């Protein structure tokens, strides 16, 4: 009898803990980050079962391992950092719903969902919204989930999302990841074809650097058109200002970086004036004049770095930075040729 009573009490205690877990914000107020199951968790072994033995064996394998949490994947540190920002925001604004909302997007069958849920609960992640599309692409649901950013390891799905006007990137892991901050979300962006359109990049690639520099000088006071991730930077800035309003500019748990191959004196003014026109800012702007980005990123140690060129993605990976490829603009002219290269790099 006493054992039964203790078991019942434990169940009630667990129920209380569940009730106390923070609820996700309403989608209309949230910044929605959709992540695929293979970016949030390391499913390399599971993927191997699927490719070598087929769907039925894959589902069976997942069912047999439901009690075994999946290992963290490439997007896991980024998601943890987003949820850490939420915790700080709730302390300052208990009733605010301007928070990050993480949505798990997967083409897994619903039967596999139990293992995903168990893994999320094992790591104490606040992820309540799922999309399990049962072998169909989940990309078509992104707009319905009001997605602000979509992260996947599938280059084709990311390209589909970009073509639908949704900010998206293909994530790449690295063998020896840099140690990342536990208290501050750090996000690094390339400029052209990421935050900005590729209008200037087109000139640089088709007419050469001299013409590019001349063009940027002539149009220094004309803001660049927005690129696919401008909205995400805008969302980060909105949350940063909430911390600034509480006197936490210096201790803000969000920090943003522009890491661009542009030269500062020759082509930097237009970039900074564009930010000013947009009413946005980055915490740090690093103009490299064509120098490799990897060493600077190794110093910054961002949770994620966005770039449209695989050359810079590779350089970031080699020095321990988690990088995400944005397939947008003229840089994707040879996309099909680069796809095999991307697949070889993907873990």
- Write out the chain's pLDDT in tens, 347 residues: 455 555 545 554 554 555 466 777 777 789 999 999 999 999 888 888 888 888 888 888 888 889 899 999 999 999 999 999 999 999 999 988 899 999 999 887 788 888 999 999 999 999 999 988 776 777 888 999 999 999 999 999 999 999 999 999 999 988 788 899 989 999 999 999 999 998 888 888 888 888 888 888 888 889 999 999 999 999 999 999 999 999 999 999 999 999 999 999 888 899 999 999 999 999 999 999 989 999 999 999 999 999 999 999 999 999 999 999 999 876 565 444 444 444 444 44
Q: Do residues 185 and 81 touch, judged by C-beta distance below 8 A?
A: yes
Q: Do residues 316 and 307 touch, judged by C-beta distance below 8 A?
A: yes
Q: Do residues 40 and 76 touch, judged by C-beta distance below 8 A?
A: yes
Give me the percent of the chain exceeding a pLDDT of 70: 88
Q: Which of 101, 148, 154, 190 is catalytic?
A: 190
The number of beta carbons lying within 10 Å of the beta carbon of residue 23 is 9
Separation of CA 155 from chain center: 14
Domains of the chain in start order, with CATH, are: 2-147 (no CATH), 185-345 (3.40.50.1000)
pLDDT value at position 9? 52
Closest CA to 324 of 130, 100, 142, 158: 158
Active site residue 190: yes
- The token duo for 226 is 């927005």
Closest CA to 100 of 118, 113, 116, 87: 87
pTM of the model: 0.87
Q: How far apart are CA 301 and CA 27, in angstroms?
A: 30
Q: Could you report the per-residue pLDDT of 184-240, keeping only the tens digit for each?
A: 999 999 999 999 998 888 888 888 888 888 888 888 889 999 999 999 999 999 999
């Amino acid at each position: 009898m006493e054992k039964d009573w203790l078991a019942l009490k434990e169940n009630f205690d667990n129920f209380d803990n569940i009730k106390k877990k923070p609820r996700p914000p309403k989608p209309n107020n949230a910044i929605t980050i959709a992540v695929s199951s293979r970016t949030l968790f390391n499913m390399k072994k599971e993927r191997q079962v699927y490719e070598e033995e087929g769907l039925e064996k894959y589902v069976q394998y997942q069912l047999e391992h439901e009690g075994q949490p999946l290992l963290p994947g490439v997007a896991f540190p980024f998601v943890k950092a987003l949820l850490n920002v939420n915790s700080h925001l709730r302390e300052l604004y208990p009733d605010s719903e301007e928070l990050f909302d993480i949505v798990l997007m997967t083409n897994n069958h619903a039967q596999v969902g139990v293992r995903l849920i168990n893994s999320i609960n094992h790591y104490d992640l606040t992820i309540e919204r799922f999309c399990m599309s049962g072998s169909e692409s989940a990309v078509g649901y992104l707009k319905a989930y009001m997605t602000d950013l979509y992260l996947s390891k599938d280059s084709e799905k990311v390209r589909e999302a970009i073509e639908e006007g949704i900010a998206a990137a293909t994530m790449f892991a690295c063998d020896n990841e840099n140690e990342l901050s536990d208290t501050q979300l750090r996000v690094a962006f390339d400029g052209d074809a990421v935050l900005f359109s590729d209008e200037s990049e087109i000139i640089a690639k088709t007419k050469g650097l001299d013409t590019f520099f001349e063009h940027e000088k002539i149009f220094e006071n004309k803001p660049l058109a927005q690129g696919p991730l401008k909205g995400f930077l805008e969302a980060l800035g909105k949350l940063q200002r909430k911390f600034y309003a509480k006197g936490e500019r210096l201790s803000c748990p969000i920090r943003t970086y522009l890491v661009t191959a542009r030269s500062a004196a020759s082509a930097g003014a237009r970039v900074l004036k564009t930010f000013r026109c947009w009413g946005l800012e980055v915490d740090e702007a690093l103009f490299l004049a064509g120098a490799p980005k990897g060493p600077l990123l190794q110093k910054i140690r961002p949770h994620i770095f966005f770039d449209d060129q695989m050359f810079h993605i590779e350089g970031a990976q080699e020095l321990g930075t988690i990088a995400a490829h944005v397939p947008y603009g003229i840089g994707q002219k040879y996309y099909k040729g680069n796809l095999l290269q991307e697949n070889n790099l993907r873990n």
